[in-house]
Amino acid sequence: MAMILNDEQNLLQQSAQDFSEKVATIENFRKLRDAKERYHDQALWKQVAELGWTGIIVPEGWGGSEFGYLGLGLVLQQLGRHLTPSPLFSTGFLAAEILMQAGSDAQKDQYLPKIVDGSSLFAFAHEEQIRHSIHQVTCRGEKVAAGYRLSGEKVFVVDGELADYFIISARTSGANGAEAGISLFVVDASQAGISKVQLTTVDSRNVANVTLDNVEVSSDCLLAEVDHAFPILQNVFDKAAILMAAEMLGAAEDVFERTIDYLKEREQFGVTIGSFQALKHRAADMFVELDIAKSVVREALSALDEGSDEVPQLASLAKTRLNDCLTLITNEGVQMHGGMGMTDEFDIGLYMKRSRVANQLFGDSNYHRDRFASLGGY
């Protein structure tokens, strides 16, 4: 693992930092939230595409830069610092990753350029229950003469309300809970039989429940081999856990810095509260946890680019550490800011809300601790 970034990575990180500080700000996020209209800034998304971030992991043959997962992680980390609501994760990573792994050349030619230029938004519809699971797929994909008929419901689909296309997991054979029998389909969101219900989430992001009512799709919509999508899903969710950890790291860094600044400025009994020994100890605990989190995320991102066999273990390690780290730091940040930390007018509470939702995405700490132990043979 290289803890020091090279020149190109430093430039990308600086570009993302400048963009998030000047354009994708907390103030912009508040405007979208208060407008209550899809929580999406089309002008901002256009700039994200123009910066080339939508194609960071996409090969040059389809218009991308193939800069790597560490590069994408650096961008998400900076966007996480400002709680930027963007389809970059769902479109620029999840959809692009699945299409690169499972798509035919024709499907890649059709969809990847649309991802890179930002002209189409994608959402990955997989989860069917509150807690993350790869195996639990009851949405049916029935073989019919013209192709497949999809029926079922997907919940908590990130950016589902915005999507022009869905990538949908469906069970084409076998019983619920089995690894074999899961297939993937890419479907136009305007297809007859698809309905979306936007959810109101505590972190004010675009999430929807999606219902599939006998949706007829052609065989050309099938990604990869029928019944054999499970290994692809495993790999994609490992990468998703790592990249979500990178976004969460950015949020944790920002909250920590805000809290330390406040401890240096707020006075009580004629001295700054940062001089109180109890708060020093708590700040030190936060610093240690954050430093460990940085190392874990950087190691996991590097492992993705290197094609390491340890990616599954590192994915669960990174997501667990960041779940716990961000929870700790947002809790401490709100508490150390006192009563005003609980008000909506103060930004620190927005990070706590995002923390609670991000904890559940792609597996909470209990899920990944159990998985990490199982991978180790326990």
Return mean pLDDT, the chain. Answer: 94
| Residues β-bridged to residue 168 | 125, 185
pLDDT band at 10 (very low <50, low <70, confident <90, very high): very high
* pLDDT at 37 > cutoff 70: no
pTM score, whole prediction: 0.95
Give CA separation, 58 vs 18, 54, 116, 307, in Å. 23, 8, 8, 16
Return the higher-pLDDT residue of 343 and 52: 52
Residue 339 CA to residue 319 CA, distance in Å, equals: 30
DSSP 163: -
* pLDDT at 35 > cutoff 90: no
Map tokens 């919509």 to a residue.
221
pLDDT digits (tens, 9 = 90+) for 73-96: 999 999 999 999 999 999 999 999
Q: What percent of the chain has pLDDT over 70?
A: 98
Average of per-residue pLDDT across 324-330: 97
Average of per-residue pLDDT across 187-202: 94
pLDDT at 5: 87
Residue 358 CB burial class (10 angstroms; 0-12, 13-18, ≥19): buried
Q: Where are the domains of the chain?
A: 7-120, 123-228, 231-375
Return the higher-pLDDT residue of 32 and 119: 119
Name the CATH superfamily, with its identifier, for domain 7-120: Acyl-CoA dehydrogenase/oxidase, N-terminal domain (1.10.540.10)
pLDDT band at 67 (very low <50, low <70, confident <90, very high): very high
pLDDT band at 1 (very low <50, low <70, confident <90, very high): low
Residue 172 CA to residue 226 CA, distance in Å, equals: 7
- Tell me the DSSP string of 121-149: -EEEE---SSS--SS----EEEEETTEEE
pLDDT at 3: 67
pLDDT digits (tens, 9 = 90+) for 110-157: 999 999 999 999 999 999 998 999 999 999 999 999 899 999 999 999
* pLDDT at 267 > cutoff 80: no
Quote the radius of gyration of the chain (alpha carbons, Å): 21
pLDDT at 308: 95
Name 33's Cβ contacts closer than 8 Å, sequence gap at least 6. 39, 204
* pLDDT at 189 > cutoff 60: yes
CA-based nearest residue to 122, from 150, 162, 69: 162
Domain spanning 231-375, CATH class: mainly alpha
pLDDT at 40: 85
pLDDT at 283: 93
Contact present, 72 and 99 (Cβ < 8 Å): no
Q: What six digits make up the tokens of 202? A: 């505590």
Average of per-residue pLDDT across 341-355: 91
CA-based nearest residue to 40, from 87, 83, 5: 87
* pLDDT at 348 > cutoff 70: yes
CA-based nearest residue to 118, from 45, 58, 60, 59: 45
Residue 35 CA to residue 29 CA, distance in Å, equals: 10
CA-based nearest residue to 172, from 148, 190, 206, 207: 148
Average of per-residue pLDDT across 329-351: 90
CA-based nearest residue to 129, from 82, 176, 73, 92: 176
Please give the CATH topology (third level) of the domain spanning 123-228. Butyryl-CoA Dehydrogenase, subunit A; domain 2 (2.40.110)
Q: What percent of the chain has pLDDT over 90?
A: 85
DSSP 295: H
pLDDT band at 275 (very low <50, low <70, confident <90, very high): confident
